[in-house]
Amino acid sequence: MPPPFPTATTATSHLALLFLLSSSSSLFFLYKSIRLRCKPSPATGPARTTIPTLLYASATGTSKTLAARLSARLTAHGGVLVSAADATSFDPDDLPSVPLLLLLVPTHDGGAPPPSAAFLARWLEESAADFRAGALLLSGLRFAVFGVGSRAYGETFNAAARSFSRWLRALGAVEVVPLGEGDVDGGDLEAVFEEWSGKVLRVVKGEELNEGVEGESDGLDELELEGEESDVDDEEEAVSGEIDMEDIAGKAPARRQNGKVEGGLTNGGQNSVKEMVTPIIRTSLEKQGYKILGSHSGVKICRWTKSQLRGRGGCYKHSFYGIESHRCMEATPSLACANKCVFCWRHHTNPVGKSWKWKMDDPLDIVNAAIDQHTKMVKQMKGVPGVKPEKLEEGLSPRHCALSLVGEPIMYPEINALVDELHRRHISTFLVTNAQFPEKIKMLKPITQLYVSVDAATKESLKAVDRPLFSDFWERFLDSLKFLHEKDQRTVYRLTLVKGWNAEEIDAYAKLLNLGQPDFIEIKGVTYCGSSATSKLTMENVPWHSDVKEFSEVLASKSGGVYEVACEHAHSCCVLLAKVDKFKINGKWYTWIDYDRYHELVISGKPFKSQDYMAVTPSWAVYGAEEGGFDPDQSRFKKERRHRTAALKG
């Protein structure tokens, strides 16, 4: 009597016989079917405990951390030793011998699984689509899937997790726990994962769920994956190793007392609306030095603020526009953003969103809290070697606010009221927008200087560099440039050059100049922020200052004389182009700002233009000057290899 399944020898002969009759694809699936059916089936029948195979696929560390948490819980309370493993180390051919599969997976580009789960996904997808594999191929397998995603991405929310669930069920596997779908930006990740892992624990212990998950499709079989695309990760972009287990479990210290929020902000009676900053996001940003204000704002002291407190030079904005870096406050009223740029300094630890959907703090409270936290950080510089007492005293009264810390400041619904409050205190405003909210630009009140990030010059490269959430990102980008042109105050294109990504698009950049006709064009080399699972950038993508200068000179020449290279700051690898007819008078550049005059114009309430508050640029800041944009009144310090500091007069 023949054996119920072919032996290894029989399988080999079958393959040889069918070689001339089958395509390579057919042979692959035939071999897979024979090999899988030859594997021993898992033990059947009730068991008190089941040892699961726990796999994670993680692009940024969140799924890996959740898997470690589940592993610890199952080991401590399930009576079995469970270890979490990366999906890349798992052989799909071993699936028939796995009694229980637990899979934690985020959604990657356009609804696809992350690279670490790509092979497993392809194996399951192709098997489920091949009629020869059959619906009983994985009939001995039980499984549970948890997805880490964000509803901000619309129809691709947890698409990868849903696909894994659908493929496994199509191959006969039994889903013993309903699909868990965590929303990292919605704030429910901890609660949903806690509930899902509790059900998994009951399964491992051999308890019945009585939820009728077996045989139910939940409508996922008909799920269409051709929804809105976005070349970004749905997974919470947490810096690996920086999230405490207590924070993920929702055990972070309470931030509210007597109805008030840390930083002096109140709830505003919006108890039914979720907060933007989840415990995971808060912990990650705080460990990077950010002070979180209320439920959606932040402030951080800049290294250039510290530098000028010690008389060691200011940032490029000091060279280009006369900002006093030691009196500059870097803040944002919105930690959320609609992009996940490849060069993000925050490694995408901030939330994402296409519209405002969170609790909203009062603009007056945000300004008060920001100044309070900023001055506290400045006070902490007291006693630091080199800090000058007179500069420290001045630093306690900020006179400039860079609304460009993180996220998209212009998303905040009360941005105009916030700007008014800053101006009322004679604090200048420099706001940067990522060019995805054109209507917000149109409605924005006059500010000291308005920036639009022009990170790429073509639709394809903008999608690759900024990784936007919006499907109509290019149209939004172009409209933003058009509305920028309508502003009477100082406007800027900010270009961040990334070698191999956008630095070669100089002709396309030149074509965009007529669209927004900005007063200035800042061209800066990308800053390398270290390795990250969220970015493929390396030091090879960082241009030299000479590269930035060459790019700037060529772009100026392509403008037909409309723009000339005006200033540079060699330390920041940054160059400034300015409109000749506005800011070059009798051979002298006037790129600096008369801040007292600006506030007089604001108080007057009358219309005014960018030329009305310009000031002459000092010779040391002009392009080509020997100082390279370094203020000669400052002292330049360079560290030697042995960490000894040598002072060189600028």
Which has more confidence, 560 or 532? Answer: 560
The answer to whether the Cα torsion of 573, 637, 529, 544 is positive or negative is positive
| The token pair that represents 254 in the structure block | 């309470």
Stated length of the chain: 650
Q: Does domain 53-205 have CATH number 3.40.50.360?
A: yes
Q: Are 629 and 569 in contact (CB under 8 A)?
A: yes
Q: What is the DSSP string of 598-636?
A: HHHHHHHTS---GGGGEEPPPGGGBTT-TTTT--TTSEE
DSSP label of 528: P
Q: Are 311 and 273 in contact (CB under 8 A)?
A: no
Residue 540 clears pLDDT 60, i.e. is over it: yes
Q: What is the number of other CB atoms lying within 10 angstroms of the CB of residue 114? A: 26
Nearest CA-CA partner of 559 in 587, 526, 519? 519
pLDDT in tens, 35-47: 444 444 444 443 4
Q: Are 143 and 203 in contact (CB under 8 A)?
A: no
Average pLDDT rounded to a whole number, residues 548-558: 93
pLDDT band at residue 463 under the 50/70/90 scheme? confident
Which has more confidence, 97 or 1? Answer: 97
Q: Are 467 and 427 in contact (CB under 8 A)?
A: no
Pairing state between β 260-261 and 256-257: antiparallel
pLDDT in tens, 43-60: 444 344 568 999 999 876
Task: Please report, for residues 143, 424, 515, the alpha-carbon distance to residue 408 in angstroms, rounded to integers and kept in the order given.
Answer: 40, 23, 22
Residue 254 clears pLDDT 70, i.e. is over it: no
pLDDT of residue 271: 52
**Tokens 């659908």 sit at which residue?**
166
The answer to whether the Cα torsion of 475, 477, 481, 487 is positive or negative is positive
Most confident listed range (8-12, 239-243, 252-256, 387-391): 387-391
CA separation for the pair 597, 584 (Å, rounded): 19
**Tokens 């009221």 sit at which residue?**
417
CA separation for the pair 463, 341 (Å, rounded): 9
Task: Please report, for residues 7, 329, 378, 447, 451, the alpha-carbon distance to residue 429 in angstroms, rounded to integers and kept in the order given.
Answer: 76, 10, 20, 6, 11
Average pLDDT rounded to a whole number, residues 168-186: 89
Residue 420 clears pLDDT 50, i.e. is over it: yes
Instruction: Give me the residue spans of the domains in the chain.
Output: 53-205, 279-621
Residue 29 clears pLDDT 70, i.e. is over it: no
Which has more confidence, 350 or 570? Answer: 570
Q: Are 100 and 273 in contact (CB under 8 A)?
A: no
pLDDT in tens, 600-640: 999 999 999 999 999 999 999 999 999 999 999 998 776 65
CA separation for the pair 10, 368 (Å, rounded): 79
| The token pair that represents 172 in the structure block | 């006969």
User: What CATH topology corresponds to 279-621?
Assistant: TIM Barrel (3.20.20)
pLDDT of residue 268: 46
Burial class (CB in 10 A: 0-12, 13-18, 19+), 464: middle
- Coil, strand or helix: which one is 346? coil
Lowest mean pLDDT among 194-203, 249-258, 355-364, 402-411: 249-258
Burial class (CB in 10 A: 0-12, 13-18, 19+), 346: buried
pLDDT of residue 505: 81
- Coil, strand or helix: which one is 567? strand
Nearest CA-CA partner of 516 in 577, 454, 460, 474? 454
Contacts with 329 (C-beta within 8 Å, 6 or more apart), sequence order: 299, 370, 371, 374, 398, 400, 401, 402, 427
Same fold, 53-205 and 279-621: no
| The token pair that represents 450 in the structure block | 């308005």
What kind and span of H or E run contains 378?
Answer: helix 363-379
What percent of the chain stands above pLDDT 90? Answer: 50
Lowest mean pLDDT among 35-44, 113-122, 422-431: 35-44
| The token pair that represents 474 in the structure block | 């290019």
The stretches of 130-254 forming alpha helices (DSSP H) are: 159-170, 189-204, 245-248
Which has more confidence, 60 or 275? Answer: 275
Q: Are 401 and 429 in contact (CB under 8 A)?
A: yes
| The token pair that represents 510 in the structure block | 């030149």
pLDDT in tens, 125-139: 988 887 666 677 898
- Give helix 279-287 / helix 189-204 axis angle, nearest 10°: 110
Average pLDDT rounded to a whole number, residues 238-256: 34
